[in-house]
Structure 1
Amino acid sequence: MEIAKLKQLVTEKLERPDRSVSYDRKEQVLRIENQKNKKGVSLALRPLLAKYETKKEEALEEAVRYVNHALEAMGQDITLAGKEKKIFPVIRSTSFPETTKDGKQLIFAEHTSETRIYYSVDLGHSYVLLDEEMINKANITKNDIMEMAQFNMRSLPIELKEDIVAGNSFYFVSTKDGYDASRILNEAFLAKMQLDMKGKMAVAVPHQDVCIIADLVNDTGYDVLGQMTFQFFNQGNNPITALPFLYENGELEPTFILAQRKPKKD
């Protein structure tokens, strides 16, 4: 399918009288906005096209649900009162905006050279990132938000799916709850996983809806992880980073896979 055809299909599914839909041809990004409050969602079509090649209509429906839920959340008057257990951290790239479209300062903390931690309030089908105005109205400090989010994140279930390639084990967290990548912040989980590693432990968060743990015992494992992370990065609704992290002594170190491949012994 061509990008133009995909654009037509997605536009038809998202068009409504109260919305405006525009297209950036150069970036191949569709912008869908609520005409009333001018808040909106940008949908990159190139990654969606890659997903469509394998998942067909399911990929389109998934993208439409994502946009509809996000726009629905943006139309709500958000209050934090009584939602203390609904505050969670979300991982984004360091290139992610620090302010909202209307200039409000988002709440975030530094994480690695590739990632930042933003904070959200969960609304069920979607969430809204917290800004300074929201927490000031609730008379809550940034430290309060960070502590609540960390505590709530640890309560999220972790179900792992395992795949073994050439002796290397790959574990996937992909519950599609919006916080899969946030599991990288669960230090107890990472430390427990490291105890079972036979080789080097690596962690990847290519997009919002997956966290990959890898037990790398040979060169093939490094190659597979590099290819896998890049593929996931290109197909995610909220891409984060195509660089995996080596995990050692509680530290995450971004790494270029080719630079880490071990030399073969003669």
Structure 2
Amino acid sequence: MAKMTSLKMKKMMEARLAKPEFRTSYNRDKDTFRIEWQDTGQGITITLPNVVSKYNERGEAAVDDLEEHVIEALKIMHEEHDLSGKEKQIYPVIRATSFPTETNAGSTLVFREHTAETRVFYALDLGKSYRLIDEALLEEENWSYSWIDEIASFNVRSLDNDFKKDTVAENDFYFVAKQDGYDASRILNEAFLEEMLADAKGELAVAVPHQDVLILADIQNKAGYDILAQMTMKFFAEGRIPITSLPFIYEDKTLEPVFILAKNRPEKNEKE
């Protein structure tokens, strides 16, 4: 099989997404491919080397998945949405602090701070995909930030928290990966974290390397930190929507970055 390159991938994407209502462009300096609506300019920018990497791993199936995701996202961008009567479809989503707080069209997204590494945004679930909620949508309904946070927090608590367990070097690791778009969001379910903490033999660590996984770890020895760090970095590198490669320790209902609490963990009475 001939080696895939960014230019070949660009041509493949152009062929797959050739529709009169779309416009495509290629940024050679950034090695990105953009597809947008002709009439509004709203669209999606794809980093080609990332797609090439996934193509080399999975072949055409990776491009099939990307095409489906792009078409669905573009369709959602072109629709009118409201929130009234759709309260049960509103969920929180975790994003990195580097994630844009405005849409390409200039609308300010609704979000709140979470940790130094993460923020909480809010999504209207639309079935196959979702739309992040902006201030304009909130203003149409005359809803407050606290109200939408309350709705979203209630809904995330209603999600199943089934997990798979793996034990490595006497440390227990739990993986929530329901593939419903809200795996990482379950880090906001305090009751679930408290339940896991109550069952932990050691310290409870939590990681959200990308949108589609929540990792919980019962850290029972020093090796557990290293294993979790390596695991989180691997997931972060492979995720479609990466969040943070930095795990957290959960205690006293707060999340503290593991780099502060690792092998050279400060004593409780030390000041930062």
**TM-score, normalised to structure 1's length?**
0.90
8 Å CA contact 1:206–1:241 kept in 2: the answer is yes
8 Å CA contact 1:47–1:234 kept in 2: the answer is no
- Gaps in structure 2 of 5+ consecutive residues: 266-272
1:236 maps onto 2:239 in alignment: yes
Per the alignment, residue 35 of structure 1 pairs with 38
SS in structure 2 at match of 1:220: helix
- For 2:105 and 2:232, the matched residues in 1 are separated by 33
8 Å CA contact 1:184–1:211 kept in 2: the answer is yes
1:173 maps onto 2:179 in alignment: no
Q: CA RMSD in A?
A: 2.1
Gap change, CA 1:93 and 1:56, over 3 Å in 2: same
Gap change, CA 1:168 and 1:53, over 3 Å in 2: farther
Between 1:229-238 and 1:78-87, the stretch displaced more is: 229-238
SS in structure 1 at match of 2:209: coil
Per the alignment, residue 249 of structure 1 pairs with 252
Per the alignment, residue 203 of structure 1 pairs with 206
1:69 maps onto 2:75 in alignment: no
| 1:4-15 alignment runs, 5 A limit | 4=6, 5-15=8-18
User: Percent identity, aligned pairs only?
Assistant: 48
1:129 maps onto 2:132 in alignment: yes
Per the alignment, residue 186 of structure 2 pairs with 183
8 Å CA contact 1:47–1:235 kept in 2: the answer is no
- For 1:189 and 1:150, the matched residues in 2 are separated by 12
8 Å CA contact 1:174–1:210 kept in 2: the answer is yes
- For 2:228 and 2:28, the matched residues in 1 are separated by 32
SS in structure 1 at match of 2:92: strand
Larger Rg: 2
Between 1:220-229 and 1:146-155, the stretch displaced more is: 220-229
Per the alignment, residue 192 of structure 1 pairs with 195
**TM-score, normalised to structure 2's length?**
0.88
1:161 maps onto 2:151 in alignment: no
Letter in 1 for 2:102: T
8 Å CA contact 2:4–2:56 kept in 1: the answer is no
1:3 Cα shift?
3.7
- Tell me the alpha carbon deviations over residues 158-213 of structure 1, each in whole angstroms, 9 at most, x when there is no partner: 12012222222221111111111100000001111112222222111111111111
Between 1:2-11 and 1:59-68, the stretch displaced more is: 2-11
| 1:75-94 alignment runs, 5 A limit | 75-94=78-97
Letter in 1 for 2:200: M
| 1:210-229 alignment runs, 5 A limit | 210-229=213-232
1:262 Cα shift?
6.3
- For 1:11 and 1:202, the matched residues in 2 are separated by 43
- Gaps in structure 1 of 5+ consecutive residues: none
- For 2:252 and 2:75, the matched residues in 1 are separated by 42
| Alignment: residue pair count | 262
1:53 Cα shift?
4.2
